[in-house]
């Protein structure tokens, strides 16, 4: 019989407040922050997590977040190049866009929120139609990743360079040092400006859309002027024959720091500009009013005249250039912009800043302005920025009002341990020890500690011992969150500690080459300690000197043996009572980082930095099997309770489950985004906990679902095959940038404009489903066509004896005709993947689909979808269709039926529009008569009052 195992699956991921993979947003109350593959919504005032946007099965990191003008809609870009539109009220995905090959780095919505522009590390710029849920076109031109995108609106009464349906301009910046201006109506680049000497990291446009601020890697903040008149008139040549430029350089703003300018932001309503150019601080500029600038310039002019008068009195020549112009006048244009910006204050955060945001809600002039800051150290903060005062007293200072940092560690999670009843989890990092409730995943306690490397619960589950890098052992009381004892145990890092199975003693191993044994004793509390009554402590009993650094120590569950892993890549096994040498296990090429002994004390498993796991017998010390387990160093290993199954974690971000008797891998679990340092197993074998460099702690629970190894291998091969096909299909779309991986071959450059296609396993599966449906429907129709022909040839008496062919069981089950079944399958394909799914179809199936399109058009079924598929197929297979005369029989009736169906649709829409206009006129007339009755007014005044009347607020009614 085939052996089955129980499957494990991810159930919880916690400990992440915000990850540093993406920008964060703040709306005045709620903060929308990335948390590895999820987006978390925090209420900053309460410090509570309001929602988590999680899509099951999706593991790629969030790399960009952007809020739509429709405030409850957000676009989130991921590391695999996909974009998901999330609805914030329902925390669900509205639609998914797939078009980029690499991580999304920039997103922007247009004014109405109907179009979305996305930029990526693959240097492409894609425009998406949100209403139609489709990619409009791909723009190529940048030679490095796009860092910022901004839509520029053109008022409708002004002519664009074309009469296309969606006018407008798009401004993009990139790491290739270029600013590019794209005309969306003609879909090409109309100006390229070399903006900086190094990469452009950020860009922002003011509300009037006439000034652009760009920040670069060299620490420069430049200001550019947009000539609105030039792009309002369209592309026109000047008298010299050059095309009029739209972007003009103006000035450079002086910054306090010369570090990389990583983010610039203008306050949406108040005159403030914020710039982040240093890791830990944000510089705030106040934008002066016109009156203030005029006063400042007048003062400057006065000072210059006084200086000139003094120089003249001393007999010096006044500073006049050859043309007789004052040099001061030449500088006025450049200094003009700089005059508007005055340094207000610098906000210094408690850690490295990943991104910041002003609250979108409008604060009053009296209340301080909130500045939201997301730190790279897994914390969020809000600072209050006071308004500027006229008095020349000490400069204002920003104050921190709220912070969210308790639900996560500031640094890597280095060690984990679980209480004996599986209810409490302790995690420790450099600086803090945190106690978690495993059921609710809430942080119960946070205690300061040193650089923790190993930890264990002491018998009774009321105390935790933590071994540190400095060689100390700290003992903490959980109930009172206090440090009750500090033991200077070793002179170097305490790498490992383990409690003896009888709960009477603890063993520690250190880099000072000592293995020390400690007895657990209860002593009376001293007057200095906060504890009363009996206090638990460790008393040094004996020391075992080793020849090399000790990396891991472990008692056997039967309490007879002690295993010690050394830096010389060997494992020494001693008798626990006499410390007499028993076995030496050698074979690893690099040091053994962790080891564990099975519950029956028969097997010992060791994992090493050489990426291998070795299983040994504890009776003779023979190596049963050596397994190449991970792609990087294997950090920890642990046996599951009551079995020979064991778990390993590695620097390759993987958690793996193994069978120690059959030497086979059972399951691979992906999820972490950084190397996994720590592993802890449930004492009842129900779950596994892992801690990682990405600061997240994840619980993997045992499910009731059985797992068969053969099935798992087949699924893995299928996934590899599908991803291989998708990659080979996508390889055609090479990038325009020369030297970029997967770029054009032999120096041939791609066109600036391209279609948006990207094959994924989903599009391939959708294409296959359509093909299967077409084959099934064709077979069914052919069978019934033959039956009808046979019936027509026979006489009436014989025709009675001829039985109709049996219906296809699928069609019979659903009670559908063949053409209705094909429509059902096509309708289920998501709108965003439909075009890519149709590209998978061979020409034969495309011809077959045309027949069904004709039937659907004739019956008036889903005319919108029919039109979309028809036009796409005609565009894609144009050459084959025009050379194939057989297609005429299908296309001519399709044209006729589709036109009549569209005409019917047009009539219905026209009728509905007329009805709505009638309702509006009726409503207006009723309101006018109401005004006439209430007040003595004439018709003109009433109409004016109605138009002036405030628009009613929209209220979302929840069912």
Structure tokens given for 262:
């990583």
- The pLDDT value given to residue 320: 44
End-to-end CA distance of the chain: 54
Residue 201 exposure: Cα atoms within 13 Å on the Cβ side:
21
Task: Enter the tokens of residue 502.
Answer: 């009888």
pLDDT in tens, 570-612: 999 999 999 999 999 999 999 999 999 999 999 999 999 999 9
* In contact, 404 and 17? CB cutoff 8 Å: yes
Cα(913)–Cα(625) distance, rounded to whole angstroms? Answer: 77
The dihedral sign for the CA sequence 159, 164, 167, 171: negative
d(CA 329, CA 304): 11
pLDDT at residue 724 in the model = 75
Please check whether residue 675 is in contact with residue 653, taking contact to mean a CB–CB distance below 8 angstroms.
yes
Distance between CA atoms of residues 638 and 597, nearest Å: 8
DSSP run (H or E) holding 84: strand 82-87
What per-residue confidence (pLDDT) applies to 293? 81
**Collapsing DSSP states into helix, strand and coil, what is residue 786?**
helix
pLDDT at 62: 94
Counting every residue, how long is the chain? 959
Token reading at 336: 């003009």
What per-residue confidence (pLDDT) applies to 531? 54
Name which of 16, 41, 15 is nearest 29 in CA terms: 41
Structure tokens at 270: 């108040």
Query: Please, which residues bridge with residue 804 across strands?
Result: none
d(CA 657, CA 634) in angstroms, rounded, equals: 13
pLDDT score of 730:
67
Nearest to 661 by CA among 683, 648, 645, 676: 645
| Alpha-carbon span 574 to 460, nearest angstrom | 28
CA angle 525, 526, 529 (to 5 degrees): 85
CB atoms within 10 A of CB 750: 16
Structure tokens at 774: 């077409």
Of residues 158, 157, 156, 171, the one with CA closest to residue 231 = 158
The 10s digit of each residue's pLDDT in 762-801 is: 888 888 889 999 999 888 888 888 888 888 777 766 656 6
| CB burial of residue 600 (10 Å; 0-12, 13-18, 19+) | middle
Angstrom distance (rounded) from CA 21 to CA 12: 20
Phi, psi (rounded to 5 degrees) for 352: -70, 130
The sheet with strand 494-499 has its strands ordered as 494-499, 505-510, 514-524, 534-545
CB 453 within 8 A of CB 463: no
Q: Which residues pair with 522 in a beta bridge?
A: 536
Among the listed residues 67, 92, 88, 90, the one whose alpha carbon sits nearest the alpha carbon of residue 77: 67
Please report the pLDDT score of residue 158 as a whole number.
46
DSSP assigned state of 735: -
Sheet of 146-152, strands arranged across: 146-152, 169-174, 178-183, 188-194
DSSP state, residue 790: H
Six-digit token pair at 448? 């300061």
Which is nearest to 484 in space by CA: 451, 517, 523? 523
Q: Order of strands, edge to edge, in the sheet holding 48-53?
A: 25-26, 30-35, 38-43, 48-53
The crossing angle, in degrees rounded to 10, of helices 863-876 and 818-828 is 80
- Residues with pLDDT less than 50, the chain: 157-165, 318-334, 527, 529, 733-749, 950-953, 955, 959
pLDDT for res 927? 78
Residue 108: strand pairing partners: 117
Residue 718 pLDDT: 82
Radius of gyration of the chain (CA): 36
pTM comes to: 0.84
3-state secondary structure of 65: strand
Phi-psi region at 621: left, alpha or beta (left = phi > 0; alpha = psi -120 to 50): left
- What are the C-alpha distances in Å from 666 to residues 596, 611, 656, 709? 18, 18, 8, 7
Bridge partner list, 134: 129
């Amino acid at each position: 019989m085939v052996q089955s195992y129980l499957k494990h699956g991810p159930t919880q991921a916690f400990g992440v407040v915000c990850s540093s993979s993406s920008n964060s947003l703040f709306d005045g109350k709620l903060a929308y922050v990335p948390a590895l593959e999820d987006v978390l919504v925090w209420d900053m005032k309460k410090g509570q997590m309001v929602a988590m946007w999680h899509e099951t099965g999706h593991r790629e990191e969030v790399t960009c977040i952007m809020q739509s003008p429709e405030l409850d809609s957000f676009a989130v870009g991921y590391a695999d190049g996909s974009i998901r539109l999330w609805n914030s009220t329902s925390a669900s995905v509205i639609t998914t866009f797939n078009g980029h090959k690499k991580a999304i780095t920039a997103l922007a919505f247009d004014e109405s929120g109907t179009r979305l522009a996305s930029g990526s590390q693959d240097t492409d710029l894609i425009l998406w139609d949100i209403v139609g849920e489709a990619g409009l076109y791909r723009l190529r031109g940048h030679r490095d990743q796009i860092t910022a995108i901004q839509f520029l609106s053109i008022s409708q009464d002004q002519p664009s360079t074309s009469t296309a349906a969606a006018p407008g301009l798009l401004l993009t910046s990139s790491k290739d040092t270029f600013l590019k201006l794209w005309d969306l109506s003609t879909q090409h680049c109309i100006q390229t400006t070399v903006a900086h000497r190094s990469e452009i990291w950020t860009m922002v446009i003011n509300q009037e859309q006439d000034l652009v601020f760009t920040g670069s890697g060299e620490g420069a903040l430049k200001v550019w002027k947009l000539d609105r008149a030039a792009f309002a008139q369209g592309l026109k040549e000047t008298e010299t024959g050059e095309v009029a430029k739209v972007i003009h350089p103006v000035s450079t703003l002086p910054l306090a720091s010369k570090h990389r300018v990583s983010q610039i932001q203008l306050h949406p309503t108040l005159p403030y500009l914020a710039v982040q150019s240093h890791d830990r601080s944000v510089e705030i500029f106040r934008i002066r009013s016109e009156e203030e600038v005029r006063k400042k310039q007048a003062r400057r002019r006065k000072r210059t005249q006084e200086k000139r008068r003094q120089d003249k009195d001393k007999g010096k020549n006044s500073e006049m250039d050859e043309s007789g112009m004052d040099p001061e006048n030449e500088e006025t244009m450049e200094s003009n912009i700089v005059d508007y910006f005055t340094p207000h204050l610098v906000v210094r955060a408690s850690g490295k800043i990943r991104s910041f945001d002003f609250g979108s809600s409008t604060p009053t002039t009296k209340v301080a302005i909130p500045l939201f800051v997301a730190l790279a150290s897994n914390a969020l903060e809000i600072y209050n920025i006071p308004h500027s005062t006229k008095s020349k007293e000490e400069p204002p200072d920003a104050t921190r009002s709220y912070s969210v940092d308790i639900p996560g560690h500031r640094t890597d999670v280095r060690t984990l341990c679980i209480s004996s009843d599986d209810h409490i989890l302790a995690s420790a990092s450099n600086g803090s020890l945190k106690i978690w409730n495993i059921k609710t995943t809430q942080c119960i306690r946070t205690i300061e500690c040193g650089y923790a490397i190993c930890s264990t619960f002491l018998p009774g589950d009321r105390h935790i011992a933590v071994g540190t890098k400095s060689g100390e052992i700290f003992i903490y009381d959980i109930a009172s969150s206090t440090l009750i004892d500090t033991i200077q145990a070793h002179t170097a890092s305490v790498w490992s500690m383990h409690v003896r199975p009888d709960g009477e003693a603890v063993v520690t191993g250190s880099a000072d080459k000592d293995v020390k044994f400690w007895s657990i004793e209860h002593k009376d509390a001293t007057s200095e300690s906060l504890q009363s009554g009996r206090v638990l402590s460790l008393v040094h009993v004996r020391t075992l000197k080793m020849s090399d650094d000790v990396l891991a120590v472990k008692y056997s569950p039967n309490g007879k043996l002690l295993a010690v892993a050394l830096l010389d890549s060997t494992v020494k096994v001693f008798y626990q009572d006499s410390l007499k040498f028993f076995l030496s296990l050698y074979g690893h090429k690099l040091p053994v980082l962790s080891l564990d002994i099975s519950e029956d004390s028969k097997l010992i498993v060791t994992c090493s930095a050489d990426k291998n796991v070795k299983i040994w017998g504890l009776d003779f010390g023979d190596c049963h099997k050596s397994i190449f387990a991970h792609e990087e160093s294997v950090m920890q290993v642990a046996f599951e309770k009551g079995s020979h199954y064991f778990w390993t974690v590695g620097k390759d971000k993987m958690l793996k489950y193994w069978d120690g008797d059959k030497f086979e891998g059972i399951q691979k679990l992906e999820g972490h985004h950084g190397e996994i340092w720590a592993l802890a197993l449930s004492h009842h074998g129900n779950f596994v906990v892992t801690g990682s460099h990405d600061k997240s702690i994840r619980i993997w629970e045992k499910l009731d679902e059985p797992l068969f190894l053969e099935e798992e291998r087949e699924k893995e091969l299928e996934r590899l095959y599908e991803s291989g096909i998708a990659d080979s299909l996508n390889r055609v779309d090479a990038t325009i940038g020369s030297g970029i991986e997967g770029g054009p071959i032999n120096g041939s450059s791609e066109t600036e404009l391209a279609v948006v296609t990207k094959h994924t396993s989903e599009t391939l599966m959708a294409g296959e489903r359509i093909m299967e449906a077409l084959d099934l429907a064709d077979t069914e129709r052919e069978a019934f066509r033959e039956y009808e022909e046979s019936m027509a040839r026979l006489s009436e008496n014989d025709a009675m004896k001829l039985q109709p062919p049996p219906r296809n069981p699928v069609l019979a089950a659903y009670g559908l005709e063949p053409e209705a079944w094909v429509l059902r399958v096509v309708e289920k394909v998501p709108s965003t993947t439909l075009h890519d799914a149709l590209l998978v179809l061979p020409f034969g199936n495309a011809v077959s689909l045309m027949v069904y399109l004709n039937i659907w058009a004739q019956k008036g079924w889903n005319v919108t979808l029919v039109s979309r598929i028809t036009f796409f197929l005609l565009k894609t297979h144009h050459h084959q269709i025009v050379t194939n005369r057989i297609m005429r029989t299908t296309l001519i009736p399709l044209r006729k039926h589709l036109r009549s169906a569209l005409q019917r649709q047009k009539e219905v829409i026209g009728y509905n529009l007329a009805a709505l206009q009638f309702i509006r006129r009726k409503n207006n007339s009723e309101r006018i008569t109401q005004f006439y009755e209430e007040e003595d007014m004439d018709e003109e005044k009433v109409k004016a009052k109605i138009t002036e009347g405030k628009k009613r607020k929209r209220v979302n009614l929840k069912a």
